[in-house]
């Protein structure tokens, strides 16, 4: 399996898209299975010549040929996903920053993320499948990324919201990370119920779940900083957990592992942007 990660070249798209990655796998390679974990982004994955099956939190990407194209949106999951690739694979995934996907869509994100499956079929525009299929057939990765950027720029409509961008900053900026959900709601002169409703509509998660993932991802980032030797006690407080029991509880909920076991098994690549666990390793 080969993964190549690309930052958007477009200055405009850099405000909305964190990165693209292209995943390929040859037919004669062994099946690959990995665990991926909740994040604060909205992920759109396009798979060419593949059929996708979801069973609970397991996702199987099975090579089928015949120019089949699958497009899925991952925004709501709060537990680890077990991803399996059987046969050849050709995938492009797009990582949209929090709230950013709304800037391209006719409806809020939650309109597209309401099925019973953990991954939602995602066909947001009339020309989407046809255009994605043409992009996937381009011979060079750089051509695919350039065409993908051009397409998303053509769909950009912008988004404004009376308080969500500020509420996100309240959760993401280092100096504000200890603000409670109630305090954030009061700051923006809304009720907690209203804050929760708008988070679910436009981000696909409750603010409490979003904050839990922010802490988890920050802990993972701190642990991966090679220049610093942080132990779990340091990470507990740097990542704004109340104590180690709090961190252990959240890690078990989001990953299925204690922090110690999680970091022991974790494989991080591409400057910590890709963080997976391969079952049976570690």
Q: What is the pLDDT of residues 135-150, one digit of tens each?
A: 999 999 999 999 999 9
* C-alpha 271 chain-centroid distance: 16
- Report domain extents, the chain: 2-155, 164-256
* C-alpha 162 chain-centroid distance: 24
pLDDT of amino acid 159: 86
Neighbours of 234 (CB within 10 A): 13
Neighbours of 65 (CB within 10 A): 11
Q: 109: closest CA among 94, 124, 95, 130? A: 124
Contact 176, 170 (CB under 8 A): yes
Tokens at 124, concatenated: 């947001």
Q: 52: closest CA among 42, 43, 44, 64? A: 64
- Angle at 92 (CA atoms; ends 155, 274), nearest 5 degrees: 115
pLDDT of amino acid 242: 86
Q: What predicted TM-score, i.e. pTM, was given to this entire model?
A: 0.93
Q: 45: closest CA among 14, 82, 74, 6? A: 74
Tally the residues of the chain: 282
pLDDT of amino acid 192: 96
Give the alpha-carbon dihedral of 19, 24, 30, 35, to 10 degrees: 20
CATH topology of domain 164-256: Arc Repressor Mutant, subunit A (1.10.10)
Contact 32, 25 (CB under 8 A): yes
Q: Which residues does the chain have with pLDDT short of 70? A: 174-177, 225-230, 281-282
Cα 197 from Cα 153, distance rounded (Å): 28
């Amino acid at each position: 399996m080969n993964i190549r990660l690309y930052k958007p070249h477009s200055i405009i798209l850099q405000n909305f898209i964190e990165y693209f990655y292209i995943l390929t796998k040859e037919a004669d390679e062994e099946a690959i299975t990995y665990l991926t974990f909740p994040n604060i982004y909205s992920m759109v994955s396009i798979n060419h010549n593949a059929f996708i099956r979801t069973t609970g939190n397991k996702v199987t990407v099975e090579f089928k040929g015949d120019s089949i194209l699958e497009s899925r949106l991952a925004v709501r999951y709060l537990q680890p996903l077990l991803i399996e690739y059987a046969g050849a694979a050709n995938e492009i995934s797009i990582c949209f920053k929090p709230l950013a996907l709304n800037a391209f869509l006719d409806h809020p994100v939650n309109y597209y993320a309401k099925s019973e499956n953990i991954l939602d079929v995602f066909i947001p525009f009339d020309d989407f499948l046809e255009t994605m299929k043409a992009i996937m057939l381009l011979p060079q990765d750089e051509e695919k990324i350039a065409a993908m950027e051009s397409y998303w720029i053509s769909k950009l409509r912008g988004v404004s919201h009376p308080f969500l961008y500020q509420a996100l900053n309240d959760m993401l900026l280092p100096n504000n990370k200890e603000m409670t959900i109630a305090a954030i709601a009061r700051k923006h002169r809304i009720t907690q119920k209203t804050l929760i409703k708008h988070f679910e509509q436009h981000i696909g998660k409750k603010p409490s779940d979003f904050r839990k993932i922010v802490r988890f991802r920050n802990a993972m980032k701190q642990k991966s900083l090679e220049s610093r030797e942080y132990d779990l006690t340091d990470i507990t407080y740097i990542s704004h957990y109340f104590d180690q029991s709090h961190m252990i509880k959240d890690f078990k909920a989001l990953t299925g592992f204690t922090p110690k076991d999680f970091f022991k098994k974790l494989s991080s690549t591409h400057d910590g942007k890709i963080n997976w666990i391969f079952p049976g390793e570690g």
